[in-house]
């Protein structure tokens, strides 16, 4: 036993520090960076359009680099890239928001409700979401959008969420199944709580971190999906998103003409926003899976015991 004995003080301290004090994730640097980046992009999307000019206004300084008056230069037809970027940010974030909310409801409904009630309901819900999962999403989206000539941003978002919720539902179902069989849920059932109350009050709070991380993923995939769709020329007509900006930049040969200020910012914003959400997700992951957070093999390696301490420990045992 003595070989693995650790300093009681160290063990107690590490136990104390690793005990979760609150439900919110601890403010790690990762989380902080993620929140700051995502927050500023969201703010830019909300407030930006109020401070910039008309993104469609054409003038005669085509393909000018970043300079006085045009923060990010102009497009081929002299439109202000920065103004477009502000509106595009708003558009893309709207898609992300709609898809996030719809995915939340769809996956919670098919994942949690089915798993909780069990029986044929679970079987059919699970079959349905598994089928939706293996039917490839983007080709389906492309085909659907090719049949609908005039698309609104809302339609694109709805189509993206219809094809994208299944993965989350599967994850939620697995977790609900394990929560459902815990003793306290059985106790609640025995004490005569209504099924809806058990679902909403006893089970749902346990799923909140998982739901949050699934929604964050859904938002990333939605923004990327919309960008891809718009880039292929199949996105929402007549609205600005990061994807449509890239589409017009590519069609205007922005890269070949060296107009990096037109092509780089939208892609970079997508990447930054995605990375920020991913960083937030890391922190949520550490709540869901405590093993990711404390007492790793590496930290065990640092538990050193000095010769004198070892000797003292041996003495006390003997």
Residues contributing to the site for another protein (CB under 8 A): 4, 30, 127, 130-131, 133-140, 142-144, 146-149, 167, 220, 224, 227-228, 231-232, 234, 243, 246, 250, 255-256, 263-264, 266-267, 270-271, 273-275, 277-279, 282, 285, 289, 291-292, 295-298
- Find the farthest-apart pair of alpha carbons in the chain and give their distance in angstroms, rounded: 91
78 or 267, CB closer to another protein? Answer: 267
Residue 203 CB, nearest approach to another protein (Å): 22
Residue 117 CB, nearest approach to another protein (Å): 21
Residue 92 CB, nearest approach to another protein (Å): 11
Q: Annotate 147-163 with b (16+ C-beta within 10 A) or e (fewer).
A: eeeebebeebbebbbbb
Residue 110 CB, nearest approach to another protein (Å): 15
26 three-state secondary structure = coil
Residue with tokens 């992951």: 285
Query: Which residues are within 8 A (CB) of 122 and not within 5 positions of it... i.e. 6 or more apart?
Result: 114, 115, 173
The CB density around residue 232, as the number of other CB atoms within 10 Å, is 14
Residue with tokens 């709207």: 94
101 or 138, CB closer to another protein? Answer: 138
Residue 98 CB, nearest approach to another protein (Å): 19
Please give the full DSSP string across 103-156, using - where no structure is assigned.
Answer: HHHHHHIIIIIHHHH-HHHHHHHHHHHHHHHHS-HHHHHHHHHHH-SS--HHHH
85 or 198, CB closer to another protein? Answer: 85
Q: Taken in order 106, 109, 115, 118, is the CA torsion positive or negative?
A: negative
Residue with tokens 């977790």: 175
Residue 298 CB, nearest approach to another protein (Å): 5
């Amino acid at each position: 036993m003595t070989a693995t004995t650790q300093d009681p003080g160290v063990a107690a301290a590490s136990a104390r520090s690793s005990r979760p004090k609150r439900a919110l994730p601890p403010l790690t640097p990762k989380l902080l960076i993620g929140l700051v980046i995502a927050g500023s992009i969201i703010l830019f999307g909300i407030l930006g359009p109020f401070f910039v000019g008309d993104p469609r206004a054409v003038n005669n300084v085509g393909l000018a680099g970043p300079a006085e008056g045009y923060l990010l230069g102009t497009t081929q037809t002299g439109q202000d890239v920065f103004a477009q970027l502000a509106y595009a940010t708003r558009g893309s974030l709207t898609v992300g928001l709609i898809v996030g909310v719809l995915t939340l409801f769809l996956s919670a409904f098919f994942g949690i409700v089915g798993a909780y009630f069990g029986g044929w309901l679970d079987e059919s819900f699970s079959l349905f979401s598994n089928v939706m999962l293996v039917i490839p999403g983007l080709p389906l989206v492309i085909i659907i959008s090719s049949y609908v000539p005039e698309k609104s941003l809302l339609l694109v978002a709805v189509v993206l969420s219809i094809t994208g919720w299944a993965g989350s539902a599967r994850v939620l179902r697995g977790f609900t199944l394990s929560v459902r069989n815990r003793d306290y849920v059985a106790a609640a059932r025995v004490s005569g709580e209504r099924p809806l109350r058990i679902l909403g009050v006893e089970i749902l709070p346990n799923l909140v971190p998982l739901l949050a991380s699934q929604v964050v993923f859904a938002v990333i995939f939605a923004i990327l999906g919309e960008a891809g769709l718009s880039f292929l020329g199949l996105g929402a007509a007549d609205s600005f998103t990061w994807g449509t900006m890239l589409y017009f930049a590519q069609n205007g040969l922005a890269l070949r003409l060296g107009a990096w200020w037109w092509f780089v910012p939208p892609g970079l914003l997508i990447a930054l926003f995605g990375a920020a959400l991913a960083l937030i997700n890391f922190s949520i992951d550490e709540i869901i899976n405590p093993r990711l957070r404390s007492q790793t093999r590496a930290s065990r390696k640092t538990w050193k015991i000095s010769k004198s301490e070892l000797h003292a420990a041996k003495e006390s045992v003997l």
